[in-house]
Amino acid sequence: SGAAIRTYLLERSRVVQITDPERNFHCFYQLCASGKDAELYKLGHASTFHYLNQSKTYELEGINNEDEYWKTKRAMDIVGISRSDQDAIFRTLAAILHLGNIEFSPGKDSDSSKIKDSTSNFHLQMTATLLMCDPDLLVSSLCTRSIHTNEGIIIKELDCAAAAANRDALSKTIYARLFDWLVENINKSIGQDVDSKAQIGVLDIYGFESFKHNSFEQFCINFANEKLQQHFNEHVFKMEQEEYKSEKINWSYIEFIDNQDMLDLIEKKPIGIIALLDEACMFPKSTHATFASKMFRNLSSHPRLEKTKFSETDFTISHYAGKVTYQTDSFLEKNRDYIVAEHCNLLSSSRCSLVSGLFSSLPEESLRSSYKFSSVASRFKQQLQALMETLSSTEPHYVRCVKPNSVNRPQLFENQSVLHQLRCGGVLEAVRISLAGYPTRRTYAEFVDRFGVLVPELMFGSHDERALTEAVLEKMKLDNFQLGRNKVFLRAGQIAILDVRRAEVLDNAARRIQSCFRTFAARKEFVKTKKASISLQAYCRGCFARKMYKIRRETAAAIILQKYARRLLLQRNYHEACSAALLIQSCIRGFIARRYFSAIREQKAALVIQSFWRKRKVAMLFQHYKQATIAIQCAWRQKLARRELRKLRMTANEAGALREAKNKLEKKLDDLTLRLTLERRMRAAGEETKLVEISKRDKIIETLSAECAAAKLSARSEHDKNLILQRQLDDSLREISMLRSNKILKAEEENENSNLKNIVESLSEKNSLLENELSTARKNSDDTMEKLKDVEGKCTRLQQNLDKLQEKLTNLENENHVLRQKAFSITPKPLPEKFANSTGLTNSEQKRTFETPPPTKYPSPIQHSTGSRRARLPVERHEGNHEILLSCIKENLGFKDGKPVAACIIYRCLLHWRAFESERTAIFDHVIEAINDVLKAKEADGRLPYWLSNTSALLCLLQKNLRSNGFFGTPSRRSAGGLGGKLAQLAGRGDTAQVDARYPAILFKQQLTACVEKIFGQLRDNLKKEISPLLSLCIQAPKSTRPGKAPKAPGVSAQQPSNSHWDNIVSFLNLLMDTLRENH
């Protein structure tokens, strides 16, 4: 049970604008005539308010506004609205009237406004008082608006027209929220059963309207009537005739008017009138003229839309009830329903609970825009759609209201007008269907269930419902009926004959049942009286027996209670003594165990600290001795090598042969120096890892010492507590036998010892694990030291050979002055120019050989043995396939299973050709040059995401599967700290088989890292170039409005250009993200 009210299309514009002789809402006139309440709210006659004096009709004939006001208040009492809420409602209505009297005048700037005079200031103060809000905040919300940007909040002044429109918008918003609140509270007071499956709905909606001047309200009202007319047609005509067709009975088809094309003209997307109106409302510079021109341009061919002859903006629609001409002057203003953030913030801060409850705080995204657009027509269309769904799910019954005359007089009918309304409303067609059709229809099961009693002799033998129905109708001698597939159709009056005969049969059966029932009732009454007398006798005997039993049971219960009370007192005393003894014993045992455990833990912690300190001291001493030994060995080997070089110079015979040998040895020496520097770097890295391990061990020692100190503190605190407890329990200890306590203490100590043994075993296991880790670290350091010693031995031998050659050269220089000068030009320590050029480095950059790779050239390979020649053979065999690989780079091969195809092909080809293991090859140069050529092309900007994905994937594969051969194991700073380092970390997570890489492969990896960073930098620069001008336009947007450029329509914000810039930024970023996502 219960009810609920729903509203459709509240005419909000009537609050601020009315035409003569119409009136505003009745509540305003009732409030002005309320007497004492009007004086309380500083209200006068209705003619003194701007919202009411636009029409000269203040009183209605036969209606007293004051009496209606008190009736309204009594109605509020009935529906359960409290007195405080009633006062807040009428105070809000009075505030709307005062708000309408606020006028504005130009301010200091031409595009600003202020309160006009003292009268307007009085109404402003009254509005703020009645709404219980801040007057200054009210003025700022009316005369300014705020724009939220990334840089902050921008305050924009409003001119007089915009301020007046802002005031009217606030009035409409307050009234609409208050109206919705009243409807909601009325629904709560009436109550509604949500789980109810049956309901009755009464829809009282506007009738068809056609005036001399038709605006947006008439358009919406006539649109609603078109929707209802379509439903009426479907229900009365279509459903009726379709049912006759499905049942296959004889029926003459009646033509009717279908208005679906009319509904498509109004609500169809994207070129319906409502869709075009919403689109025009979204643009601030749109006017009713642009809306009308766009509508005629898109819908000029529609048969139901016409353009008026004497106006460019008016249009005529052929409705089902006739043609109506609409004026579009105020269509845009009435369709816009702005939610102004300043208004919501103002009224949500009101001290009146009802007003602040009407305006809850806006979400974060709504605060970024001062105005939030909402279409009235679209919302009304959604309400109508929901209404149509409700009507379709129910069984509707229509009540057609006919207007008798156009002068609003009683007892006067205009025949042509009435006939036209009946014809347009479909009433004549409905009458024709009722006359020609079968108004009564039943399914065979329903008909047999209701009228089967008329032929009881056929009900038991036959199961054919249609045959039974036909038998019933033949027995009753009825002719005006037809039998369909599933139903029987009867003309008017036939069902009444069947009901009369059925009533006679049921009356006879009822009289027979009544006679049998009266007999049964009399017998039942006699049996009941007999049982009652027997029950009464048994009850009396039982009362006497229960009374005697109660006395005996009370005596026995008293004895039992005394027994249990005595036992309870004795038991309580015994439990108190036992608990006291147990408490004393547990405290003593705990004190002794804690003291013993704290002593053992302190001793163990001291031993751990001593062991770690001795271990660290020995390790530091070993490192110091080791470094000193290496330094002495290096100095002594260097001295021996120089002595051997002097001997070689003296023993040399031929200058040319010596020069060539010297050049070869210098090359080998340079290679060995490069290897030595790399080994030293590896050694430095190993020392750094050792220092890190030592720092970790120190941290562990510090944490253990902290835990030891915390254990000492806890032991001291426990010791103090136990002393206090011991003083309190000295008297009780004398009463306890010593032998008993000793036995108990021994058992507990044995348990504690077992627990402590387990703890010691776990600590020893941890210590053994740490020792194993330290031993493995030492083994690794010993291996690296052995490798360093081998390399240093090779270096010393080569240095000795070089010293011998230098000594031979000095002897030859004494014999030939010219040859000596040439020898002097060869002997300097820096690398020869030819070698430096082959590596792509100058003498000043030799120290940074592995930090930044040269762009195109590789250094001359290090020749060790004939194995390097064997490594180059597979690459040289596949030089013919290089062009195919380079053509794959120039084409866009796309992705497969989320992997870039080009990167996988390049890596597979290089791996198949064994290019990573060769010491001299040009394929890496060709790959880098091909990638750079692609990036320098005209379409490079569009292919940057594609190549960023391919190069980064290729770099990940190299980082994952390449392994240095010992000479280039230390990564450069640039690759470790930049984008390549991150890719190396990602690639290092795999555990696939790795390939030993030579120097060209390592250099190719560094060049590929530089290429990835270059592509990423170009993407970042392109993004800055695209977004920077749009951001500057968004920042400068509030400064673009100048005097004389005020919006044409009041209340229309001028921030749409900045919104378009922001939309451009968002669309560009979405396009960039889609491109990156496609190439990921």
pLDDT in tens, 1023-1070: 888 888 877 777 765 544 444 444 444 443 444 455 677 777 788 787
> What's the confidence (pLDDT) of residue 1080?
64
Whether 803 and 646 have beta carbons less than 8 Å apart is answered as yes
Of 387-391, 553-557, 679-683, 792-796, which has the strongest mean pLDDT?
553-557
> What's the confidence (pLDDT) of residue 520?
93
Share of the chain above pLDDT 70, in %: 81
Name which of 2-11, 188-197, 422-431, 515-524 the model is least confident about: 422-431
> What's the confidence (pLDDT) of residue 100?
92
Q: Give the mean pLDDT of the chain.
A: 78
Neighbouring CB atoms inside 10 A of 276's CB total: 18
| Burial of 642: CB neighbours in 10 Å, binned 0-12, 13-18, 19+ | middle
Rounded to whole angstroms, the Cα distance separating 5 from 7 reads 7
Q: What is the pLDDT of residues 512-522, one digit of tens each?
A: 999 999 999 99
Integer angstrom CA distances of residue 785 from 619, 623, 675: 16, 12, 15
> What's the confidence (pLDDT) of residue 473?
86
User: Across residues 88-110, what is the average pLDDT?
Assistant: 90
Whether 964 and 911 have beta carbons less than 8 Å apart is answered as no
Residue 855: helix, strand or coil by DSSP? coil
Neighbouring CB atoms inside 10 A of 516's CB total: 9
> What's the confidence (pLDDT) of residue 1058?
54
> What's the confidence (pLDDT) of residue 744?
79
User: Across residues 1015-1030, what is the average pLDDT?
Assistant: 82
| Residues listed for the chain | 1080
**CA nearest to 28, candidates 1, 59, 2:** 59
Domains annotated for the chain, with CATH where assigned, are: 12-190 (1.20.120.720), 204-335+374-437 (1.20.58.530), 500-813 (no CATH), 869-1080 (no CATH)
Q: What is the pLDDT of residues 7-66, one digit of tens each?
A: 877 778 888 888 877 899 999 999 999 988 899 999 999 999 999 998 888 888 888 999
User: Across residues 506-527, what is the average pLDDT?
Assistant: 92
Rounded to whole angstroms, the Cα distance separating 395 from 393 reads 7
Q: What is the pLDDT of residues 220-267, one digit of tens each?
A: 888 888 888 888 777 777 677 777 788 888 766 666 667 888 889 998
Rounded to whole angstroms, the Cα distance separating 847 from 836 reads 12
Share of the chain above pLDDT 90, in %: 19
**CA nearest to 958, candidates 923, 922, 911, 926:** 911
Whether 321 and 423 have beta carbons less than 8 Å apart is answered as no
Neighbouring CB atoms inside 10 A of 417's CB total: 14
Structure tokens at 687: 């020392």
Helix (H) or strand (E) holding 487: strand 487-490
Rounded to whole angstroms, the Cα distance separating 771 from 773 reads 5
Q: Residue 270 carries which DSSP code?
A: T
Structure tokens at 708: 């030891």
Rounded to whole angstroms, the Cα distance separating 19 from 24 reads 9
Tokens 């509707």 locate to 396
Residue 938 CA to its chain's centroid (Å): 40
Structure tokens at 96: 């709307």
Strands 962-964 and 995-997: parallel
Say whether pLDDT at 636 is over 70: yes
User: What do you get for the CA distance between the two ends of the chain, in Å?
Assistant: 61
Whether 131 and 355 have beta carbons less than 8 Å apart is answered as yes
**CA nearest to 886, candidates 942, 937, 933:** 933
Rounded to whole angstroms, the Cα distance separating 1036 from 1061 reads 11
Helix (H) or strand (E) holding 996: strand 995-997
Q: Can you give the pTM of this predicted structure?
A: 0.44
**CA nearest to 29, candidates 65, 71, 74:** 65
> What's the confidence (pLDDT) of residue 867?
41
| Burial of 977: CB neighbours in 10 Å, binned 0-12, 13-18, 19+ | exposed
User: Across residues 331-358, what is the average pLDDT?
Assistant: 83
